[in-house]
Structure 1
Amino acid sequence: MPILESKYNPPHFFKNGHISTIYAGLIRQVNGFNQQRERIELMDGDFLDLDWSLSKDESDRLVILLHGLEGDAQRHYITGSAKLFNANRFDACAVNFRGCSGESNLLYRSYHSGATEDLREVIRHVLENKKYNSIYIKGFSLGGNLLLKYLGEQEILPEEIKAGVAISVPCDLHSSCQQLLSPKNVLYAKRFKRNLLRKLRQKQSLFPELISDKEIHSIVTLKDFDDVYTSKAHNFKDALDYYTQCSSLQFLPAIKVPALIINAKNDSFLGETCYPYQEVDKNNALYLEVPDHGGHVGFWGKNNITYTEKRAIEFFMNNL
């Protein structure tokens, strides 16, 4: 489909990408909202925690929400989305990826940008309930990449899957990693690395035979983390093999349900190949919106409702 013209025009202060990113991640608050947790067992013996919130009126429509790297289902970009969906007669299921719900998962493996097997299990669990006729999926950053990979890697999707929206998506993981390693993103990279290393130490205490102090000390960058842990724990050769196999860019041509990608031009996490103009132009199911502003999972909006929260509602309502 043609590239969509964006109407997003925030106040001057929020035209700065870093300010937009930091405000959304550290300052924004979403109040008056409650979730109920459900734990599901996975086929490999591990578990996922799902945080549910329901529309006041009984609904047969569900949105599944997927967070980003080192996020969880209580991040304000998740709760803000769920709250607005609930107000528009969608139930919401916010997924905590393995090890992200406040409790370490049971296996040495955890989550990663291409772990669509876990999303498939969530959808299978939801469909067993037989309550929902229509399922929509919204993913942010890492979760957006996972969503697009899921939509494009399977020849046949459950008929209940109607549409997807992906926000601030690193469609090319290697390109995004290179951006995160650049000086402009040093503070973000340090924060990610600190949290990831803390979790890796927890893994080491549970599985000391699988990771050594020497290997942990060798991790200087986020790419090193993917070389030492992510790739090895999830059966990839190395970080580059992981990025190559799991980047959603290669799966976009095969997507058949309506899918909207919103990536801001001033998103400091995204390289040039994370803006899939050619792929969208050749696939009638794909829509790409590239606002000038918004940062990474930012997109400030009035009344504490972000621009992308409104756009997701509009897109899904047009694909009921």
Structure 2
Amino acid sequence: MSLATEIDDLPASATRGGETQGWAERLALTLFIAIPLLALAVAIPVAWGGWLSWVDVAIALPMYFLTLHGITVGYHRLFTHKSFKPNRAVKIALAVLGSMAVEGPVVRWVADHRKHHKFSDRDGDPHSPWKYGESLGGLAKGLWWAHIGWLFDAEQTPQRQYAPDLMKDRDIVWISRNFWAFTAISLAIPPVLGGLLTWSWQGAVTAFFWGTVVRVGLLHHMTWAINSICHAVGDRPFVSRDRSANIWWLAIPSGGESWHNLHHADPTSARHGVLRGQLDTSARTIWVLQKLGWVSDVRWPSRERIESKLVKNQPVAA
């Protein structure tokens, strides 16, 4: 059977939403954007008012970094770019943790990102900040589009065209189709833990605020900032065919994704922060998984490959 025939035999979509965005999905998307954004806006006054405990921090931080790396290591470096080969347990765990970040089903996310790389900062890119031109007004409008606006585009990226490999994987298709179940689990874990650890309704409520709503909001905007800010401003030490750039102050909260210029210069690299001092916790996570023997064939960048892509001579991390 030819590859074309295999693709033709696939369903149009591995997600429940299909190839167009309906009103119910747009309503859910609006709520999942607006409510966490409101929580971020009032987070400081709420904390100042005494509604932030060490229990809340102990719940929110692990939930943030677990689900963050579900996106960065799982959705992005594994499923989109095939930077390494995992065993089945790691593959499933990363797909589930990525789903719990509440950024959409894995197959749809991957299809969008692969299309982004194919047309990066050109016509066809789902979320380029340069969509409306290079004037100040055009860039302001483009930044909004790249950050949030593109999420409401009625026309979705064809999953059969951009992610046929994932649509042949039964584990990934099942997880993608049950995205809302993993979303519900993600939303429920913090208040359940908060209630059990404090044995109070107040503990459950504050853990829900910090560990669910604020955590989801911060993670969303951190991911979207890579789409918007990291394609508009920043350092560009590597040669790439687009305007991808590095933003150092986003490195830790983004899990190393903000070393975005190298990523677009060498998309399959398992490590994005390759220059001296560039922290990349996602690459370190992959390194640990490799040492444990749970992943293999990791595409680590060689010094020669890195230096060949530099615009000018810079110190390369060992």
TM-score (norm 1): 0.28
Q: Which structure shows the higher strand fraction? A: 1
Whichever of the two has the greater Rg, that structure is 2
Higher RCO (Cα < 8 Å, 6 or more apart): 1
Q: Which structure shows the higher helix fraction? A: 2
